[in-house]
Amino acid sequence: MAERIERVYVPSAVEEGGKGLSLGCFSSEETAWNVLRSFLRKSDRMLLTAASVVVWDVDVIGEHGLTVLASLECKDCPVCTRQTFWVDLENFSALCHGDACAAWVEESTHEPGVIDCGWPPMRFLKQTKSIDEAFTELFKLGDQVKAAGITEHSGVEASETLLDEFDAKYS
């Protein structure tokens, strides 16, 4: 006999103009998140504004059967400038799902009141006192990256060399 499914996890996205895109219905939260993350990596090729993962309890009537796990909003990435920066509105965190970027911002799990931000390709990590300050740091980094001529097509080593030269010249 088949195992009874008590909950289903539903990832979805919303296009500019309000059209909803259902990405499936899954018996595992992990699978739902993996499907959504994979989809968000392509968000610079579409006009997406929001995304979410919700849980539906099976055989529950009405809105009591629905739990929103995450509501995400799409923004332009402060580092790579592509529309691939997804902000979790429930538990503040943000992550660029663009290829080779992965800029991020989140509240520190170790220090209350501290906001962490970073850009993995350059091993950039900064702690700030506010979300605005964290975004300012990432925008500054994005400006340095653009000024150094770093593009999607240049390698990490070339990027590090150019940024080191830029820092040495203007610091």
Cβ atoms of 118 and 135 within 8 Å: the answer is: no
Q: Would you state the torsion angle of the CA atoms of residues 85, 86, 89, 92, taken in this order, to the nearest 10 degrees? A: -70
What number is the average pLDDT over the span 21-43?
93
pTM above 0.85, yes or no: no
Picking from 70, 86, 66, the residue whose alpha carbon sits closest to that of residue 78 is 86
Q: Say yes or no to pLDDT of 25 above 80.
A: yes
The percent of residues in the chain predicted with pLDDT above 70, rounded, is: 86
* CA atoms of 130 and 116, how far apart (whole Å): 9
- Kindly tell me if the per-residue pLDDT of 43 is higher than 90: no
Question: For the segment 59-78, what is each residue's pLDDT rounded down to a tens digit?
Answer: 888 888 899 999 999 999 99
The answer to whether 72 touches 51, Cβ cutoff 8 Å, is yes
pLDDT classification of 100: cutoffs 50, 70, 90? confident
Average pLDDT over every residue of 35-58: 91
Average pLDDT over the chain, rounded to an integer: 86
Rounded-to-5 percentages of helix, strand, coil across the chain:
30, 30, 35
Instruction: List the Cα angle 142/91/47 in 5-degree steps.
Output: 55
Residue with tokens 């740091």: 137
C-alpha torsion angle, residues 142, 160, 93, 80 (rounded to 10): 40
pLDDT of 153 higher than 50: no
